[in-house]
Amino acid sequence: MRVGDLSRATGVPVATIKYYQREGLLPHGERAGYNQVSYTDEHVRRLRLVRALVDVGGLSITATSQVLAAIGDAGDNLFSALGKVHYAVTASTREAPESTDRVDELLDRLGWKVKAGNPSRAALAGLLDTFTDLGHADLLDRLDDYAEHAAALAALDVAGLEIRDTKDEKLEATVVMTVLGDVLVSLLRRMAQEHLATGYRPAQ
Amino acid sequence: MRVGDLSRATGVPVATIKYYQREGLLPHGERAGYNQVSYTDEHVRRLRLVRALVDVGGLSITATSQVLAAIGDAGDNLFSALGKVHYAVTASTREAPESTDRVDELLDRLGWKVKAGNPSRAALAGLLDTFTDLGHADLLDRLDDYAEHAAALAALDVAGLEIRDTKDEKLEATVVMTVLGDVLVSLLRRMAQEHLATGYRPAQ
């Protein structure tokens, strides 16, 4: 198909498609004669994934590029690919957070094996510091309970990967569940908050 | 304190403080004589909250402004304030999503009372459409299980609000748990994913 067909199939403007190509988010088409470039269903699929990560997942172009590079470079090591995806989407805003020991102790108590270099460790320590700075540290008194329910969600994510057969399918599912899974959990949690906040609801 | 003291107390540059004031995120100080403006501990507290929402929570300036307006306008109705906070932080990217019925049925099955106007309903329907478009609808076969664990997290959030005494404290805790709670759950879930992805880990 031509670039115009790719645009119509995905709803993405041609100028945006060219921008994504310049940024390395989408491979170029095959040259098919003078002034013609041809695109395949693989381009449609990749373009839909890029749009989902950017528009729905809220990733930056840089983070999207790193996530897609993790898919491309994965080799046979899916565990390492998962780490790269996590690295791309996890921003740590503090250097040497004070709550580092608290995170280490939490992981010890839970028995979770998490690499020292996983950026979520430092990001969580920084987040705990933020709660403390805001005077809301006690909202996290039940941090272990939060972790247990997060683990139950992660188990669902990992079960989702199990139903994928090939390495490429598992990789794409990893990206989708990591990025869009965050959005899924946030939305479900907000609706449950509204349902549970009955004590704050005005009397009918 | 002077604006320079406010800047030192929070680590926020003076130019950024003035920008937040122009955007309505931070009240102006009290005029205290010729060419002098005085700030209080309340400014320190508000400025730290703004930074946490923007830097850690990843909110836009517009969303931060709407969240803070929800605190300011709350009156005595905390339930309505929760709704306004949710409205400010929830973006729906599709009009008339096809999965609207599926979300209605999910909420019915779960017995959750969620207002028709809660933006999370439309956003979740749009997200389900996205999973379908990407060819990953089956990753959400266990959507009800995701919802049950999200509800367990929301119960922890609401329990956190219960330990706050005054209306203003409850409102601020609502904002913190809604926005920073998303980050907390994401980070815990990622670490649990790494721990659970043992099947993908190379043999030692």
Distant-in-sequence, close-in-space partners of B44: CB < 8 Å, separation ≥ 6? B6, B9, B10
Mean pLDDT of the residues in chain B: 90
CB contact under 8 A, A173 and B139: yes
Query: What span, in angstroms and rounded, lies between the C-alpha atoms of B149 and B9?
Result: 39
Helix (H, G, I), strand (E, B) or coil at B33: coil
Percent of chain B with pLDDT over 90: 61
CB contact under 8 A, B194 and A124: no
Is the pLDDT score of A204 beyond 60? Answer: no
Chain A residue numbers with beta carbons less than 8 Å from the beta carbon of B118 are 190-191, 194
Out of A59-73, A87-101, A127-141, A156-170, the most confident range is A127-141
Band (B84; pLDDT cuts 50, 70, 90): confident
Q: What is residue B167's predicted lDDT score, i.e. its pLDDT?
A: 83
- What pTM was estimated for this model as a whole? 0.90
Distant-in-sequence, close-in-space partners of A89: CB < 8 Å, separation ≥ 6? A59, A63, A67, A178, A179
Helix (H, G, I), strand (E, B) or coil at A30: strand
CB contact under 8 A, B194 and A86: yes
Query: What span, in angstroms and rounded, lies between the C-alpha atoms of A149 and B138?
Result: 22
Is the pLDDT score of B52 beyond 90? Answer: yes
Distant-in-sequence, close-in-space partners of B23: CB < 8 Å, separation ≥ 6? B61, B65
CB contact under 8 A, B190 and A118: yes
Percent of chain B with pLDDT over 70: 95
Smallest Cβ–Cβ distance between A149 and the set B82, B149, B198 belongs to: B149
CB contact under 8 A, B191 and A135: no
* Tens-place pLDDT, residues B114-138: 988 889 999 999 999 999 999 999 9
Q: What is residue B2's predicted lDDT score, i.e. its pLDDT?
A: 92
Q: What is residue A168's predicted lDDT score, i.e. its pLDDT?
A: 83
* Tens-place pLDDT, residues A85-133: 888 888 766 778 899 999 999 999 999 999 888 899 999 999 999 999 9
Q: Note the residue count of chain B.
A: 204
CB contact under 8 A, A191 and B153: no
Q: What is residue A69's predicted lDDT score, i.e. its pLDDT?
A: 87
Query: What span, in angstroms and rounded, lies between the C-alpha atoms of A72 and A81?
Result: 9
What's the rounded mean pLDDT across residues A173-188?
93
Smallest Cβ–Cβ distance between A194 and the set B114, B159, B190 belongs to: B114
Chain A residue numbers with beta carbons less than 8 Å from the beta carbon of B136 are 172-173, 176
Q: What is residue A88's predicted lDDT score, i.e. its pLDDT?
A: 85
Distant-in-sequence, close-in-space partners of A45: CB < 8 Å, separation ≥ 6? B134, B135
Q: What is residue A133's predicted lDDT score, i.e. its pLDDT?
A: 92
Smallest Cβ–Cβ distance between A196 and the set B56, B155, B178 belongs to: B155
SS3 for A122-166, per residue?
A: HHHHHHHHHHHHCCCHHHHCCHHHHHHHHHHHHHHHHHHHHCCCC
Q: Which of B187, B196, B201 to mutate to test the interface with A (most CBs of A within 10 A)?
A: B187
Helix (H, G, I), strand (E, B) or coil at A31: strand
Q: Chain A residue with minimal CA distance to B42?
A: A134
CB contact under 8 A, A120 and B190: yes
For residue A84, the distance in angstroms to the closest alpha carbon of chain B comes to 11
Q: Are B113 and A195 in contact (CB under 8 A)?
A: yes
Q: What tokens does B148 get?
A: 């049950």
Is the pLDDT score of A21 beyond 90? Answer: yes
Smallest Cβ–Cβ distance between B134 and the set A79, A147, A176 belongs to: A176
Q: Which residue has the higher pLDDT, A164 or B75?
A: A164
Q: What is residue A200's predicted lDDT score, i.e. its pLDDT?
A: 65
For residue A166, the distance in angstroms to the closest alpha carbon of chain B comes to 13
Q: What is residue A83's predicted lDDT score, i.e. its pLDDT?
A: 83
Chain A residue numbers with beta carbons less than 8 Å from the beta carbon of B126 are 56
Mean pLDDT of the residues in chain A: 90
Q: What is residue B85's predicted lDDT score, i.e. its pLDDT?
A: 87
Query: What span, in angstroms and rounded, lies between the C-alpha atoms of B167 and B35?
Result: 35
Count Cβ atoms below 10 Å from residue B76 Cβ, excluding itself.
Answer: 8
For residue B35, the distance in angstroms to the closest alpha carbon of chain A comes to 30
Q: Chain B residue with minimal CA distance to A57?
A: B127
Q: Which of A118, A149, A158 to mutate to test the interface with B (most CBs of B within 10 A)?
A: A149
Q: Note the residue count of chain A.
A: 204
Chain B residue numbers with beta carbons less than 8 Å from the beta carbon of A47 are none
